[in-house]
Structure 1
Amino acid sequence: MLRLIRTEQQYENTLARIYELMQIDLQPDSEESDELEILSMLVKKYEDEHYPVPEPSPIEAIKHRMEQLNISDAELSEILGARSRKSEILSGKRKLSLSMIRALKERLNISADILIQLY
């Protein structure tokens, strides 16, 4: 019987069951594949409540995305509007403007919610 995960022991047991299910060659729309999907949702809910992951700072997000997309410093300068702005932004000496946030959201696909945070 599927239930909400309320304790660490239930969490551990659910993870063990998920592992068991992942070792099977599951067929789509089978009881086991439905069980795996539901258990995964329950684990995500528990983890979101008990192990929240903080959002990265805007600077961390920009650096991470640059690395992921293999964006050069020159390309970031182009996105931000000037070379000096790039170094000032990444060093924390200058805050992002609304036009910079829009450009970063569009070009690097970084959530505006992350970019508008205080840092």
Structure 2
Amino acid sequence: MILEIEKIKNVWHDLKDILSVPHTDKQYKKLVKVLDELIDEVGNDEKHQLAPLLETVGNLIEEYENDHYIQPNAEPIEILKYLMQEKNLTQKDLAILGSQGVVSEILNGKRELNVRQIKALADKFKISPSAFI
């Protein structure tokens, strides 16, 4: 096993940007370019020697996207929680929705957003109201 790690250490400098989890948008975009190149090279050939690398890079990109982007079919409350996390907001920062109790009920799924709240959230986060419907 030590021999394998020594081999990896010798080439890690050249591979680390391709085989590491992206933590910034810049790293993510670079990895997407690598994936595009791998797709061009590998195509649909599952036996291609770079096919496992294509799968690994795809998984790294998917992990970043799951953590950093709103999923298209996400529930309105999940979108709201995501936006709160991205903007480092707390329940107190959502007074536009109502009292602390109302905000808590919304975030816990006990109360649905009404039209006024949806419009207020869309304005606050500068996104389409449809994200909360």
TM score, norm. by length of structure 2: 0.46
Alpha-carbon shift at residue 68 of structure 1 (Å): 0.5
Which residue of structure 2 aligns with residue 57 of structure 1? 75
Q: How far did 1:15 drift?
A: 2.2
Q: Which amino acid aligns with 2:128?
A: S
| Mapping 1:1-119, distance limit 5 Å | 15-16=39-40, 54-76=72-94, 78-116=95-133
| Gapped regions of structure 1 (runs ≥ 5) | 1-11, 18-52
Tell me how far 1:114 sits from its aligned partner.
2.0
Aligned residues: 70
The structure with more helix, counted as a fraction of residues: 2
Deviation per CA, 1:30-59: give whole Å up to 9, x if none. xxxxxxxxxxxxxxxxxxxxxxx6421000
Gap regions ≥5 residues in structure 2: 1-35, 42-70
CA contact (8 A) 1:79 1:103 kept: yes
CA root-mean-square deviation: 2.5
Whether the 8 Å contact between 1:62 and 1:110 is mirrored in structure 2 is no
Q: Tell me: higher relative CO, structure 1 or 2? Use CA pairs within 8 A at least 6 residues apart.
A: 1
Question: Is the contact between residue 80 and residue 103 of structure 1 (CA under 8 Å) also seen in structure 2?
Answer: yes
TM-score with structure 1 setting the length: 0.51
SS of the equivalent of 1:63 reads helix
Q: Aligned-pair distance for 1:73?
A: 1.4
